[in-house]
Amino acid sequence: MSAETNKRPTNNNGYIWIVAAFVLLVFGGFVISEATPLLFPTQGSAESRQVDDLFKFMLVIGGAIFLLVQGLLVYSVIRFRAKPGDTSDGPPIHGNATLELVWTAIPSVIVLVLVIYSYNVWISNTAAKDNEQVVQGIGRRFAWSFTYEVPETAIPDDVSVSDLSPTVQTQLEAKNSFTITSNELHTYVGRPVKVLLNTEDNQHAFWIPAMRIKQDLLAGRTTEARFTPIEAGNYPIVCAELCGDGHGAMRAEIVVHPDEETYLAWFNDTANTVFYPPEDPVERGRQILASGAYPCSGCHTLSDLGWQGVTGPNLNGVGDRADSVRAAATGETPEEYLHRSIYFPSEYLVPGFGALMPQFQPDDPGAPNYMPIEDHIAIVAYLCTQTSTGESVCDLDNLNQIAGQ
């Protein structure tokens, strides 16, 4: 080492340099923490502000440490580069107790501050709020559905309970209310929401980036997610837990209505589909599938309903195929084939696909794969019309007979 490199700055100068470097690093941390959130989705909930503030706080610290480490690295590469022809070893340096104490103590303090800060955010964001809207969220491979309770008192005077579907009647008997289902989560600005989450198969995770919430769904347990929307709009809901083949298709939307009135307009429209179901089974089947009451959308593509799943065969034109290649392969009529491919899916596997479709059944209302016969017939009647002409290929009387009604 030359004499020059051994010359150290005087103590006074040293402090100034350290303070200057510290200020510069923290400033750099601030720049990083202010710039990064520009990439974030909308702050859709009251909670998202707290979460973002916590994240920005961590970015200031992380950004400053990043700049310190990278700065020292670049500095050292230039400053301590070996001179040409210098093949000697560097000076042997052993541990420095002061340095090690400092770089243990500072991170300990930082982590402690972060623990206290994030614990407070977590406690405040997960606390029960007054006047919560309670929604059941169900995750199934590979679709979300959301159910809302409708009290018996909401049934209009001109509707008699005995005309409602058997499933609704059973629910009314059991709990004086029934549920309506949607493949979207509907809420409105200012009303706190509590989503009770259940999975009907394996683990999923309910993630709404705009609300800054993410919560696992655990088999056999109900978990909760809470938030209060503050910004009207439609935002994505994503499954954040690799749950199988169609995981990437397991998406839905949250619709935040601007006020209670527009929310209730949606709610009443949806309840009316139960009070005044369409006479035509085809129309009824379309409505049932569009509601998201069954998880078909996560596995099948069907343009008429906007489905984009790829785990199972494309259902565009399935009526034509049921009437041609499938009829030839199974010896069944199209209505019989479509009926059996839902109640007994593994009996005949479409070439190129495995036995991944859940077996829907009409017998046990408590089971996740329950599909009552009246829903089933309507769904099959609808699939029978997925043809190039839009005409049904099925004999509906025969369908009623096969399905046992």
229 or 312, CB closer to ligand HEC?
A: 312
Contact 266, 291 (CB under 8 A): no
Residue with tokens 């059996």: 340
CB of 63 to Cu ion, least distance (A): 33
Is position 250 an interface residue for Cu ion (rule: CB under 5 A)?
A: yes
**Separation CA 169–CA 239 (nearest Å):** 33
* Site string (362-391) toward ligand HEC, x via CB under 6 A: -----------------x---x--------
Is position 239 an interface residue for Cu ion (rule: CB under 5 A)?
A: yes
Among 133, 217, 358, 385, binds ligand HEC (CB under 6 A): 358
Stretch that binds ligand HEC, among 18-26, 188-196, 261-269, 351-359 (CB under 6 A): 351-359
**Separation CA 363–CA 367 (nearest Å):** 9
3 state DSSP class of 303: helix
Residue with tokens 């289902």: 181
Is position 350 an interface residue for ligand HEC (rule: CB under 6 A)?
A: yes
**Separation CA 340–CA 304 (nearest Å):** 22
Helices (H) and strands (E) in the chain, counts: 12, 12
- Interface size with ligand HEC, residues (CB under 6 A): 27
**Separation CA 211–CA 223 (nearest Å):** 17
CB of 272 to Cu ion, least distance (A): 31
Task: Say if strands 133-140 and 204-208 run parallel, antiparallel, or are unpaired.
Answer: unpaired
Residue 243 touches which member of ligand HEC, Cu ion, none, C-beta under 5-8 Å by kind: Cu ion
Is position 247 an interface residue for ligand HEC (rule: CB under 6 A)?
A: no
C-alpha distances in Å from residue 37, one per residue of 31, 190, 206, 240: 11, 24, 22, 21
Ranges within 138-197 binding ligand HEC (CB under 6 A) = 141
Provide the binding-site residues for Cu ion, judged by CB under 5 A.
204, 239, 243, 250
Provide the binding-site residues for ligand HEC, judged by CB under 6 A.
141, 294-296, 298-300, 311-313, 318, 321, 326, 338, 341-342, 345-346, 349-350, 353, 356-358, 360, 379, 383
